[in-house]
Chains A and B, each alone.
Chain A
């Protein structure tokens, strides 16, 4: 009671950061692994041929170099906004920053659509949905998106432990495939020379072009690492943790991808794998547990893996919208959060609506293409993955440029510094794949334009109808960064 007379002084404690290097590593691995290989392996195999592991290798290489740039930038600016923040710091152009943010948002939406359609392929494999039931499959995808949205509305994705468990499940499925590959190699199922074969229809028979055709899709499998910036503020010792966790996580994912694609090529004929999922590898029945059981187990593993990555992608997407609403560039309604659950429900529902629209448009196009031969019809997984990749390649290239442009600024002794020649190779790599993707699949541009138009509409709505009041109140923590120092 003697203390009651003391001066009332507020003593600031430091932030107790919670995310360790190990947790960050699992976050990166979990986020990267679920996204692509489960969904896209068949499409990449179809594009390249038996040597499709090379496409994954090239994708991994370009993505990891981009990861180096992210690692450098995130140690300089450990804030949640990621690419938009770096572009803003480097170019100081509000229009470019807005454009990049919209690109990021669109990439996330297309990725969710692609993942949802990939989920349906495994779901169909499990329950025996006929492959030509376009609207049936779309309905399942829509329900999947709705469920993921509800999970995020309730906000049960926040557990660190759940994240690590999910990552282990994701890896376990891929380890099964690798084991099958080893068995196939020992038993001599396919001649190992298949690993150097390219599809006949690669133009001019050039191996480089064949690999390039697969890289843009394989690249989708590496995306997701940029979400690591989301947790930058809460990471312990970010300048040490990020380079290790980000690069370590991406290399881990890369090694797994290359091994899985080699294993798949050894276990089943490429014609069987082409356009299909990893379930084909299980169906080959080389594992010591009967294929009937393994198909169910693997199907579930794959669906969990895809769900996990979709959850993280939806979180990232709603956070971007929330951030834009708080920054006054899209209508303020997107910043609304549920009073009890603290989730941005308007942003989540809007994102789900756009993804749903993408899926329905895709289904409508495929219905109208009924007369076309199967390989000329729209593949919704392929198309949405391509759109994601187009947006991301552009963003990644620009992030590396931003990284080089910001050299010498805001650096401290423990800032991580990426290798400059590697970064230049990274810019060229990203742009080469981007150019090839657009030449190969120009129709993707319509979808890209459509998604950008959504962003433009939001911007115009805000500019014409939004209240342009200056902040009514000076923030109390006007110089919060000073408090931290």
Chain B
């Protein structure tokens, strides 16, 4: 079974990856692909909240490198878990690229996090997760940020 773990660089997505690991049986899973999507036309194409928040060098900020750092950090969560771990960075609209990746990789499950807690966040909640659920070629595990999942972060 091939599982896609999508991350947008947020703490919630890291919590979602941990939740997935907790739910899933590693013996059933052969491959895990960690995917981050960079959106070139967005004001900030990729935000990495998992890595350092400072860039030491002037003008060195690279959204591609931010995404690489993020997938590496999420991949580190699966160290020693069992399945083969792959990372992939795609470019385009997040929902569309996650779905395309699932098609390209013939994935059996997509796991991702959705939004975060709080009223404004619920209203504006991650359209990416809902769009992926609508057209994914496989089951989708959407991890909601709950007090439980935030405990898992620590």
Q: Interface on A for B, CB 8 Å cutoff?
A: 1, 3-6, 8-19, 79-81, 84-85, 88, 94, 97-98, 101, 152, 154-155, 157-160, 163, 230-231, 233-234, 314-315, 318-319, 322-323, 326-329, 332, 335, 337-344, 347-348, 469-473, 475-477, 480-481, 483
9 A–B contacts, CB within 8 A, in A order: A4-B27, A80-B45, A84-B59, A97-B58, A319-B43, A338-B124, A343-B43, A344-B44, A480-B68
Whether A472 pairs with B52 at a CB distance below 8 angstroms is yes
Chain A residue contacts of B92, Cβ below 8 A = 18, 160, 234
Q: How far is the CB of A254 from chain B (nearest CB, A)?
A: 24
A14 to B67, CA, bound (A): 12
Contact indicator per residue, chain B 112-134, by CB within 8 Å of chain A (1) or not (0): 00011000010011100000000
Name the B residues within 8 Å of A327 (CB-CB).
Answer: 54-55, 57-61
Contact for A332 among B12, B53, B76, CB less than 8 A: B53
CA distance A126 to B26 in the complex (A): 63
For window 40-71 of chain B, which residues contact chain A by CB distance below 8 Å? 40-45, 47, 51-65, 67-69
Q: How far is the CB of B32 from chain A (nearest CB, A)?
A: 10
Query: Besides A327-B61, A342-B8, A473-B52, 8 other CB < 8 A contacts?
Result: A6-B84, A8-B82, A10-B87, A81-B60, A157-B42, A234-B64, A332-B53, A473-B51
Q: B30 at the A/B interface (Cβ < 8 Å)?
A: yes
Complex CA–CA separation, A230 to B65 (angstroms): 15
Is the pair A337, B44 in contact by a Cβ cutoff of 8 Å? yes
Interface core residue of B59, B61, B78, B87 (most chain A CB under 10 Å): B59
Interface string of B80-98 (1 = CB under 8 A from A): 1111111111111100010
Is B73 interfacial (CB 8 A cutoff)?
A: yes
Among B10, B44, B52, B79, residue most surrounded by chain A Cβ atoms (within 10 Å): B44
Given contacts A327-B55, A340-B116, A342-B8, contact A81 B78 (CB under 8 A): no
User: Which residues of chain B come closer than 8 Å to A158, judged between CB atoms?
Assistant: 39, 41-42, 93
Q: Chain A residues near B126 (CB, 8 Å)?
A: 340
- Whether B85 pairs with A9 at a CB distance below 8 angstroms is yes
Q: Would you call A11 and B40 a contact (CB within 8 A)? A: no
A233 in contact with B40 (CB, 8 Å): yes
Contacting B84 at CB < 8 Å: which of A3, A14, A332? A3
Q: Cβ of B72 and Cβ of A8 under 8 Å apart?
A: no
Which A-B residue pairs are the 3 nearest by beta carbons? A13-B88, A18-B91, A234-B91
Q: Complex formed: what's the CA distance from A85 to B57 in Å? A: 11
Chain B residue contacts of A476, Cβ below 8 A: 51, 69, 72-73, 76
B59 to chain A, nearest CB (A): 4
Query: Are A339 and B116 CB-contacts (below 8 A) given A327-B55, A329-B58?
Result: yes
- Could you say which residues of chain B place their CB within 8 Å of the CB of A9? 84-85
A431 to chain B, nearest CB (A): 24
Is the pair A340, B43 in contact by a Cβ cutoff of 8 Å?
no
Which among A163, A234, A314, A338 is the interface contact of B38 at CB below 8 angstroms? A234
Contacts of B102 in A (CB 8 A): none
- Least CB distance from B7 to A in Å reads 12
* Closest chain A CB from B44 CB (angstroms): 5
Q: Is the CB of B59 within 8 A of A344?
A: no
Residue pair A4, B83 in contact (C-beta under 8 Å): yes
Residue of A nearest to B54 (CB): A471
With A327-B58, A473-B52 as known contacts, state yes or no: A343 contacts B42, CB within 8 Å.
yes
For B35, give the chain A residue with the smallest CB separation. A13
Check A342–B47 contact: CB distance below 8 A: yes
Taking CB atoms, residues of chain B closer than 8 Å to A472 are 52
Contact of B86 among A13, A16, A152, A322 (CB under 8 A): A13
Considering the chains assembled together, what is the distance between the CA atoms of A256 and B44 in angstroms?
A: 32
Residue pair B55, A11 in contact (C-beta under 8 Å) = no
Q: Are B41 and A157 in contact (CB under 8 A)?
A: yes
Q: Are A155 and B43 in contact (CB under 8 A)?
A: yes
Please name all residues of chain A whose beta carbon is closer than 8 Å to the beta carbon of B87 when the two chains form the complex.
10-13
**Inside 8 A of B116's CB, which chain A residues have their CB?**
339-340
Other-chain contact of A16, B52, B80, B82, B91 (Cβ < 8 Å): B91
Picked from B38, B54, B121, the residue with its CB within 8 Å of the CB of A328 is B54
B75 within 8 Å of A (CB atoms): yes
Q: Evaluate contact between B44 and A319: CB separation under 8 angstroms.
A: yes
